[in-house]
Structure formats: C-alpha cells, structure tokens
Amino acid sequence: MAKITESIRNEVREVVYGFFAEECEVDISRINDKTSIIKDLDGDSLMFLELIEIFKKKYDLDIELKVIGKYAVKHPVATIGQLIEMQLLIIEHENKLLELDK
C-alpha cells in the first residue's frame, strides 16, 4: 500500500504520456487527460498491460493481473486520464484493489 503523493501522481502521468507518445508516434503535446486511447491515439489493450508491467517494476508492486482484470471489467478505461487514475489505484491498493468495490 503506497500513499499517493503529488510527486507519484506527476510521475505516473509523465510515464503514461511518454509511453503513448512513443508507442503511438504522436507529439506529447497532443496528449491530455481527455485523449481517447483508441479513437485519438489508435492504441490497443495490450498497452494497458505493458504499462502495468512498467509500474509493477517501478514501484515493486504486489498485484496479480487477474485482480486488475476483474476490476477493469467493472471500471473500463477509455481515456488517458481514466488510465492514470486506474494506475494510481493499482499502486495504492495492489492486490486489495477489488475491496474498493465492496
């Protein structure tokens, strides 16, 4: 369980923006929290998994993919902002993510 500080929030945003700019070959200035991952960036669902792996390593997270999968079914992600919020929840709650829905 990590407490989400402003510094972590900024760091996650920076990684997510940079990742999509690099992978989708778009200028980072074209990306904001309302940007649609599929419609605006031509992204794919695999990118979400790749980002989880990046953050798992970066913050040494104890989280199983099936937990994220179950949570994502109820809380689908469409925009960059939603994806950042989801990543922050994963960092904060790790394997206890599903308890948020109780």
Partner 1 sequence: MAREVVITGMSLITSLGLTIEENWKSIINGKSGVKRITLFDPTNCATQIAAQVPDEFEALSKIWIKKRAASQMTRVTRMCMTAAKMAVANSGMNFDDTDRSKCGVIMGVVNTGNSSVEKNTTTQNTVFKSMTNAMPAWLSMEYQLTGPNFAVNTACASSAYAISLGYQMIKSGQSDVMIVGGADSIINPEEIRGFNALYALSVANDPPEQASKPFSKDRDGFVIGEGAGTIILESKEHALARKAHIHCEMAGCSITSEGYNIMAPMNDGEGMAFSIRKALENSGIQKEEVGYINAHGTSTELNDRFETMAIKKEFGELAYHIPISSSKSMLGHTIGAAGAIEAIITILALENGILPPTINYRIPDPDLDLDYIPNQSRKKEINVALSNSFGFGGHNAIIVLKK
Where does this chain bind partner 1 (CB under 8 A)? 23-25, 42-44, 46-47, 49-50, 53
Q: Which is nearer to partner 1, 42 or 62 (CB)?
A: 42
Question: Tokens 């079914």 label which residue?
Answer: 73
Q: Strand pairing partners for 36?
A: 79
Q: Which is nearer to partner 1, 53 or 62 (CB)?
A: 53
Q: What is d(CA 5, CA 88) in angstroms, rounded to the nearest whole number?
A: 10
Q: Which is nearer to partner 1, 43 or 93 (CB)?
A: 43
- SS3 of the chain: helix, strand, coil, percent, to 5: 65, 0, 30
Q: How far is the CB of 64 from partner 1 (least distance, A)?
A: 16
